[in-house]
Structures are given as structure tokens and as C-alpha cells.
Amino acid sequence: MRDVAIVGVGIKKWGELWEQSLRNIFVDSALAAIDDAGANRIDSMYVGCMSGGLFVGQEHLGALLADHLGQGPIPGTRVESACASGGVALRSGLLEVASGASDIVLVGGVEKMTDVSGDEATYALATASDQEWEAFNGVTFPGLYAMMAVAHMHKYGTTREQMAAVAVKNHFNGSLNPLAQYPHPTTVEAVLGSVLVADPLHILDCSPITDGAAALILCPADKAAEFSGTPVRIIGSGFSTDTIALHSRADLSSLDAVTRAAQKAYEMAGKSPADIDLCEVHDCFTIAEIMATEALGLVEIGQGGKAAEAGETAIGGRIPINTSGGLKSKGHPVGATGVAQAIEAVEQLRGGAGERQVEDARVAMVQNMGGTGASAVVHIMEAM
């Protein structure tokens, strides 16, 4: 298997992009990644997208987007793993280059979520839960993560204030990111005073509905010097699944698929949690960040809330988490999120993250998951 490098990244500002189509926002980011790499061809393409059919009425995205990008007849594959679609697309592209099947692979992610009503968006997102046992009975993702939060609070003493501290940190980081959807600082008091969505989660504990796309260019690491973009090596990758239905799990306060995926990535990379300089985690809800940092081994089990409250996960802290602003502030176009997380890691390892730059960053991790953690993918990257 060949070592693989990221040599190009492309992302535009996310938000409510009503006047732009799914295909156009994808092409804009893909062209930016191609330009960043200085690539003169693409051999293959993977696109993460959770539910183009329900959000914009468009499936068959592999062929559509290859054509609209002007890259037909290359192989174009749409990848779906709920909110982990982008991360699994990255893993798919990684494996294709590592195997020697292709030399230059474009990995993208895209979702257009605001062209439907709130009710329709809720329905589309609920397809990532267990339809018979959860969605049919009216349980939405805020409700499911609220159950996880209550379980974590009961078992470890996690508080609402600690969850709010995650939102405060990520909105501060997002205020330093010119591409963030909601680059507005907030306070613990504002989070706790915002509308209650599913007790104990308030609206400011929840990530938004977002339109957006992101793209990467992968190549063999020994050919990275042929491209203009500063390369970053992917040194670890892990992927795991769990039960979709939350009630089937032994412990609602843990993310076992994240733990297993991380173990595989650490083993492949030859790294441990102590080697990680920064991490982008899947903070679809504030409790999700707390649980993910624990599952990744970055903080002790049950101590994720305390770590956030104490500033350990802030920029300048012991282990900076979600320097981009995370899903919470940057936005969460579900199919694109995993790719955008990798872009933040690349920018940090290149030393190009501006005001949110982590000092002396050499090793970064990204963690993307679907549903309540029924699928989880982790990548570890290193500066070259």
C-alpha cells in the first residue's frame, strides 16, 4: 500500500445559499481544490452526500457532478453514511490511491439543506435513525442526543454549563473563521437562556441546517512534490459501525464506534492520543463533542465536560478541539462536514489557519460520525 498525501483543498463560505444549486456549490469547491493543488487531471472522484434525493430531488450524483465539473468520463462515486458521508468519502479516496488504482483522486462532499422546509429537513435527517424504532415513534435527533446527554449527566455529573462551554468555545473559534456560517461569539448565559429544544439541549447546543461543499485532492505521497499545494500526509484511518437504534446499545453515554475507529487509526499511524496536537470532532450537539473527546482518548472518560469548562480544549489549551468553529459555528451541510474537517486539519498543519492557528501543529486528527454514532470514521494527518 502506498502512502497518501493531500495536496489541494477547496472550500467556500457556507450558509443559506438559496441562489446557488447543489451542483454549482460542489463545482466551486472542487475547482478551488484543483487550483490549490495545481492538478492538470483527475483520475477518479468520490462525493459524500447524505440525502440529495430528499433535500433537492437529485440522486446519481457521481455521474452528475463528474459531468458538471467537466471531468467525465472519470469514475464518479457518491458515498453515503449519513452525517459521516464526507469522512467515508475521504477514506474511499485514500484507499483508492493507496492501492495504486488511481494517482489523483478528488474527494468532495456536498449538501443543499435549505431548499426545503424545516419539517422536510427534519424528516430527511431522521432517515439516519432507525425508522421503525425511532423515527416512526416521533424521536428526532435532538431528542436522541438529549437522552445521551441525560445519561452522561447522570453517570458522570456533566452539567448544562459544561455543555454550554463547548458552544462558547466553538463560537469563539468560528468568529476567527471567515467561512463560518455563524461567526458570532456567545456566552454560557446566552446558551442556557436560548430556546429549549429537547431537555437538556437548547437551540445553541445544536448545529444548524447548512448549504455547503468542500473538496480535497489526494495523490501518492512520493508524488506530492509534483503539485503546487503544500502536502499533508494521511497516516491513519479507521472506520467502524454500531447499532443505529440508540436503545440497542449497552451504554448511552459512550460512542463505541468512535473508540473502535480511533483505535484502528492510532494503530495504523503508530500514534497515541498524546501525539495529537489538535482535533476536529463531530459536534452536531455540544454533548457529542464531550463524548467524542472521551471516545478518542483525548480526555479521560467522563471528564469531557470538565475539560471544556476548564479551557483544556480551547485554542492554546492542552488539546485544541474544533479550531474551525466545528459544526456548531462553521455549519453542518451533512455530506460535506467530514471533508471540511480534513481541510481545517490541512490548514493547521500547513500553518495557514490565521488567528486560530495552533502553535507548532504537526499531527492532527478528524472524527466524523453518522446518526448517534452508528457509523464513525477517524483520520490522522501529519505535516510533511
So which residues are the catalytic ones? 83, 332
CB 231 within 8 A of CB 214: no
Which residues neighbour 216 within 8 Å (Cβ) at sequence distance 6 or greater?
6, 8, 9, 10, 33, 90, 93, 106, 107, 108, 339, 342, 343, 346
The verdict on whether omega for the bond into residue 185 sits within 30 degrees of 0, i.e. cis, is no
CA distance 40 to 327: 32
C-alpha cell of residue 103: 494517482
The verdict on whether omega for the bond into residue 73 sits within 30 degrees of 0, i.e. cis, is yes
DSSP 8-state code for residue 137: G
| H helix intervals, the chain | 22-37, 52-56, 61-68, 85-99, 118-126, 141-156, 160-175, 188-193, 256-269, 286-295, 304-309, 326-330, 337-350
Give the side-chain half-sphere CA count within 13 A for 275: 16
CA distance 214 to 26: 7
CA distance 10 to 27: 10
CB 354 within 8 A of CB 325: no
118 SS3 class? helix
Helix, strand, coil distribution of the chain in percent, nearest 5: 40, 20, 40
Length reported for the chain: 384
Residue 48, phi then psi, degrees to nearest 5: -80, 125
